[in-house]
Amino acid sequence: MKAITYSAFGPAEDVLKLEDLPPEAPQPGDVTVDLAYSGVNPSDIKARAGARPGVTKPPYPKIVPHSDGAGIISAVGDGVPTMRIGQRVWVWNGQWQRPYGTAATQITLPADQAVPLPCSVSFQTGAVLGIPGLTASHAVFSGGEISGQTVLIHGGAGTVGYLAVQLAKWGGAKVISTANPRDFARVQAAGADTVIDYADADLAEHILDANKGQPIDRIVDVEFGQNVETNIAVISENGRINAFGSAKDMTPTLPFYPLMFKAVTLEVILIYLLPHKLRTAAIKQLHTALTDDALKCPIQDVLPLTDCAQAHDLVQAGQRSGAVLLETR
């Protein structure tokens, strides 16, 4: 199989290489997926660059990057029904705690990590569901029903935030989002009832004004450390903050008593470690929204496998209007 590999941390153009690797035969409980697309995520860039705290060298001698992808099952191991051969699937945790991910023409992995793709959903969309899709679904719906509630989504123009806005609106919530003013129209088109400049000096006041002075039931946050004071000011008693990022402040001070005296639930989300029951629920929500035609997964760029370094650079640059994919067929 053809695959992109790296054996050392460094800039994408210096360390990523195209190689021919021997195909992996599926072991008991495994499937082999002939990939159509591989999704490129910020976590893939951080892993390749060696930007994870405390990690000084790659965990395996040779790594094929990327966790997300979609394709067709071409082989199964013992214990997996042969009827799965030919099934359209999307992949989650392709390169999580294992050396070979989806930046290749094939991947072999446990069968439950290859999820049947609804017939109405494209392979390109399937390649976005692993990290962005599951993160958005869990962040919006973790904690229960949102119909009739108000959900605040920080960073509604980002890949996860954009999906979260759509899912929250589909779930019956009033949606308030923060974004850069250049993205207001896009986030409103995704379903946000109100969009506010995330750099507004009176952000908390304007969030409450957008909710007729009432506090917010649930917050989905991409920058927890940066937004913690705002969140405390606007969250309701017994409210919930689901945070999936804090890149701009990795060591925030947690104001415990203000959170405690509102009895706020704080969940820190790492989608790679989502337990089976919660992952199953998030997958069900995603699939239902997709088949209801309530969720669109925008794609900004599709590049050939040979241009993996360019794809990494595009994701690292930020300010994207959609996902970056590699065509792996």
pLDDT digit string, tens, across residues 239-270: 999 999 999 999 999 999 999 999 999 999 99
Q: How far is CA 160 from CA 54, 140, 226, 297, in A?
A: 26, 10, 17, 10
Q: H/E element holding 237?
A: strand 235-243
Residue 53: what pLDDT? Answer: 78
Residue 319: what pLDDT? Answer: 82
CATH code 3.30.450.20 for 132-272: no
Domain limits, the chain? 2-128+297-327, 132-272
Residue 51: what pLDDT? Answer: 85
CA distance 246 to 56: 22
CA distance 45 to 41: 7
CA distance 81 to 26: 13
The residue assigned the tokens 């019956």 is 172
Residue 61: what pLDDT? Answer: 97
3-state class of 315 per DSSP? helix
Q: How many residues does the chain have?
A: 329
Residue 135: what pLDDT? Answer: 98
Q: What are residue 247's phi and psi, to 5 degrees?
A: -65, -30
| Beta-strand relationship, 68-76 and 30-40 | antiparallel
Residue 205: what pLDDT? Answer: 98
Token pair listed for 109: 């992995």
Residue pair 179/199 in contact (Cβ under 8 Å)? The answer is: no
Query: Architecture of 2-128+297-327 per CATH?
Result: Alpha-Beta Complex (3.90)
Q: pLDDT tens track of the chain, all 329 residues? A: 999 999 999 999 999 999 999 999 999 999 999 999 999 999 999 999 998 878 889 999 999 999 999 999 999 999 999 999 999 999 999 999 999 999 999 999 999 999 999 999 999 999 999 999 999 999 999 999 999 999 999 999 999 999 999 999 999 999 999 999 999 999 999 999 999 999 999 999 999 999 999 999 999 999 999 999 999 999 999 999 999 999 999 999 999 999 999 999 999 999 999 999 999 999 999 999 999 999 999 999 999 999 999 999 999 998 889 999 999 99
Q: What are residue 203's phi and psi, to 5 degrees?
A: -60, -50
pLDDT digit string, tens, across residues 19-47: 999 999 999 999 999 999 999 999 999 99
Which amino acid is it at 136?
A: A
CA distance 147 to 59: 43
Residue 52: what pLDDT? Answer: 81
* CA-based torsion, 151, 157, 161, 166: positive or negative: positive
Residue pair 101/131 in contact (Cβ under 8 Å)? The answer is: no
Residue 60: what pLDDT? Answer: 97
Residue 55: what pLDDT? Answer: 86
Query: Which stretches of 177-223 are DSSP H helices?
Result: 184-190, 203-210
What pTM, to 2 d.p., does this model score?
A: 0.96
Same fold, 2-128+297-327 and 132-272: yes
What Rg value do the Cα atoms of the chain yield, rounded? 20
